[in-house]
Amino acid sequence: MAKSAEQTTSQSHDLRQILRASMDALLVPLLAVLTAMILGGLVIAFAGGNPIYAYLGLFQGAFGSTKALSETAVWATPYIFAGLAVALAFKGGLFNIGAEGQLAFGAVVSALIGYALPDLLGISLPAIIHIPLAVGGGMLAGALWAAIPGALKAYTGGHEVINTIMMNYIALNMTSFLLNAPMKDPNPLNVVARTPSIAESARIPPLFEGFRVHWGFALALLVAFLVWWLLWKTTLGFEIRTVGANPDAAKYAGINVKRTIVLTMALSGLLAGLAGTIEVTALNYRHELGFSVGYGFDAIAIALLGKTHPLGVVIAAILFGAMRNGATRMQFLTQIPVDIISVIQALILLLVAAEAIIRYLYRLRAREERVVLTRGWGG
């Protein structure tokens, strides 16, 4: 009896500790957002606007109606996928700046499968086959695109930060070429660089009739859960996190560090590819040059704001989606340009990355653990 009582108290003690730790993990991002909003408000006031009206408009535009909510979810969907991609790489000790390119590549491949496959085969495919093919193809493309810098890191020591940036250039310029020439929509009325529409059978339907929010949003939430499960509940996740936390100990523990690095990058690219794929198959029904610009980079901010935790990423992605979505309404109401949102988002990232500023401003005690952004070159 005494023993079990002791165990319960020790367990409730552990629970308290976990709670306190998660509170602490939440505190800095929350304060960073708050501080960025205050600073952004000052910028708005300086530009001659009324910050309160501006933020009111922002909130209305993001959450003020069912349509607003639907649009926020639409914005948040690629952010969740891409944010998870960057966060997963961070957990494995890798800084994937290449989500942008992996996303574009995933979108191109999935659009190609979406519009060209039925013609190529000469039959119409049922949705149950065509959707998984299009989505799977896009995921695979993203995974392969990210596995290349992963392999370069693992086997040659080439730093993934440099190599993912380089891979971005290749992917974006290749996409531009493909959309302007071989994959360009042949419709004579079309003047922009975009693919033809994908077949009906490759389209993911909306969640509710009359709203743009689609099943991709539900999939994003499911994938966030799966990423959490993978990282914390499976042996593969244990290996990824161990390589991320201490590669020397990982090697000592018998983990194949090189293979894990390649795999982590591939998984990260897979998620980024999914972000592009879902935009094609569930929203735009085609790939158009420039639609995805910035998602991969915003994803870095989202992953950091979400403290590289899947739940945090979902929250941060919805916040970013809400800001992007509400900005139009804000501009309409107060004539404050939507670009102020980019200023606020940049401030958030800055304050989250330079956590010491927040800790100093609000007199918070330092935490021992930090997200390892990147290790030494070639390390």
Partner 1 sequence: MTENYMLSEARPEPRRRIETNIVLEAKGITKQFPGVLANDKVNFDLRKGEIHALLGENGAGKSTLMNLIYGLHRPDKGDVIVNGKTAAIHSPNDSISLGIGMVHQHFMLIPVFTVAENVMLGDETIKRGALDRNTVAAKINEISKQYGLDADPNALVGDLPVGLQQRVEIVKTLYRNAEIVILDEPTAVLTPQEAEDLFRIMRDLTARGVSIIFITHKLKEALAIADRITVMRAGRVINTVLPSETDSAQLANMMVGRQVILTVDKKDHEAKEAVLKVENLSVRDQRDLETVHHVSFFVRGGEVLGIAGVQGNGQTELSEALTGLRHPTGGKVFISGHDVTGKPPRVMTETGLAHIPEDRQRHGLVMSYSVADNMALCDYYHPPFSKRGVIQPKALDENARRLISAFDVRTPSPFVNAGKLSGGNQQKVIVARELSRSVKLVIANQPTRGLDVGSIEYIHSVIVKMRDNGAAVLLVSAELDEIMALSDRIAVMYRGQIVAMVETKKSTREQLGLWMAGAHVETA
- Residue 37 burial class via C-beta count within 10 angstroms: exposed 0-12, middle 13-18, buried 19 and up: middle
DSSP letters for 301-332: HHHHHTTT-HHHHHHHHHHHHHHHHHHHHHHH
Nearer to partner 1, 4 or 182 (CB): 4
- The stretch among 69-77, 87-95, 96-104, 235-243 that binds partner 1 (CB under 8 A) is 235-243
Pair 107, 295: CB distance under 8 Å: no
Does the protein bind partner 1 through residue 253 (CB under 8 A)? yes
Does the protein bind partner 1 through residue 242 (CB under 8 A)? yes
Smallest separation (angstroms) from partner 1 to the CB of 284 = 36
d(C-alpha 174, C-alpha 171), whole Å: 5
Within positions 348 to 367, which residues make up the interface with partner 1, using CB under 8 A? none
Q: Which are the contacts of 156, defined by CB distance < 8 A and separation ≥ 6?
A: none
Q: Which of 241, 257, 269, 260 is nearest to 147 (CA)?
A: 269
Question: In the stretch 8-27, what mask flags binding to partner 1 with x, by CB under 8 A?
Answer: --x--xx--xx---------
One residue of 182, 235, 363, 376 binding partner 1 per CB under 8 A:
235
Smallest separation (angstroms) from partner 1 to the CB of 235 = 5
User: Tell me, what amino acid is at 87?
Assistant: A
CA-angle at 62, arms to 57 and 66, nearest 5°: 120
Question: In the stretch 310-349, what mask flags binding to partner 1 with x, by CB under 8 A?
Answer: ----------------------------------------
- The stretch among 30-38, 76-84, 118-126, 246-254 that binds partner 1 (CB under 8 A) is 246-254
Contact residues: partner 1, CB under 8 A: 10, 13-14, 17-18, 232-238, 242, 245-246, 248-256, 368-369
